[in-house]
Amino acid sequence: MSGLLPTGTNASSEQNGDPRTLWLDSDDTGDLLASLSSDTARAILTALHEEPQTASEVATRVDTSVQNARHHLSKLKQVDAVRVADTRYSEKGREMSVYAPSEEPLVVFVGREERKHSFLDSLRGLMSVIGLLGIVSLLVQWIVTPTIDRTTGEQLPRAGDALGNSGAVGLSPLGVPPGVIFFAGGVLVLLFVIVVQHREALRELITG
């Protein structure tokens, strides 16, 4: 009968959720830091970020007892640092929980609360602008890149030719596609603006 039960798992350590921000002085942050106060707990969380594991596998990985591993896993689960991602069965048919990191990355913010919200709002806006910048970069690359007619093998007129860009061949003098240069330059400008506008919040976030 045990041969019919799943002994493997499809659980993943990837964190695909939105970042969960915690204020340093909040009770939730205090509980999180308390759960990570021991070397064993931190080693367990690190191991789970590498791959999902059962309590017995975690115990072997960090060189501790299964009872101690379960204790720390329970504490980490209470503060939403880890989750039960799947269930698998031993060769004897015993049910085992498979643990993985929480789907939401954790960010502990140090500084005044109004700066935290301002900084995080800017980061969210930055991601939206980067997405738009990527679309525009593709358009730039399309304008300057030659198109070949598959039936005749001849080069078709480019959109850039109508703009007086007849000399372009789809690459910059450095051999890098113009779309890539446009995207990289735009990202650098956006990052510079964010750093300048929120340099004090960044300093508090890094140095505490």
Rounded Cα gap, residues 204 and 208, in angstroms: 5
CA quadruple 52, 58, 61, 66: dihedral, nearest 10: -170
| Annotation: CATH topology of 2-109 | Arc Repressor Mutant, subunit A (1.10.10)
Task: Write down the residue that tokens 């980067």 correspond to.
Answer: 130
Rounded Cα gap, residues 191 and 126, in angstroms: 8
| pLDDT score recorded for residue 101 | 92
Name which of 128, 133, 132, 157 is nearest 143 in CA terms. Answer: 157
Helix H, strand E, coil C: the string for the chain is CHHHCCCCCCCCCCCCCCCEEEECCCHHHHHHHHHCCCHHHHHHHHHHHHCCEEHHHHHHHHCCCHHHHHHHHHHHHHCCCEEEEEEEECCCCCEEEEEEECCCCEEEECCCHHHHHHHHHHHHHHHHHHHHHHHHHHHHHHHHCCEECCCCCCEECCHHHHHCCCCCCCCCCCCCCHHHHHHHHHHHHHHHHHHHHCHHHHHHHHHC
List the chain domain ranges.
Answer: 2-109, 113-207
| pLDDT score recorded for residue 152 | 59
pLDDT tens across the length of the chain (208 residues): 445 555 667 777 787 777 777 777 788 888 999 999 999 999 999 999 999 999 999 999 999 999 999 999 999 999 999 999 898 887 777 889 999 999 888 877 665 555 556 656 666 666 777 778 888 888 877 776 665 555 655 555 554 444 444 444 444 555 667 778 878 888 788 777 766 766 665 565 555 4
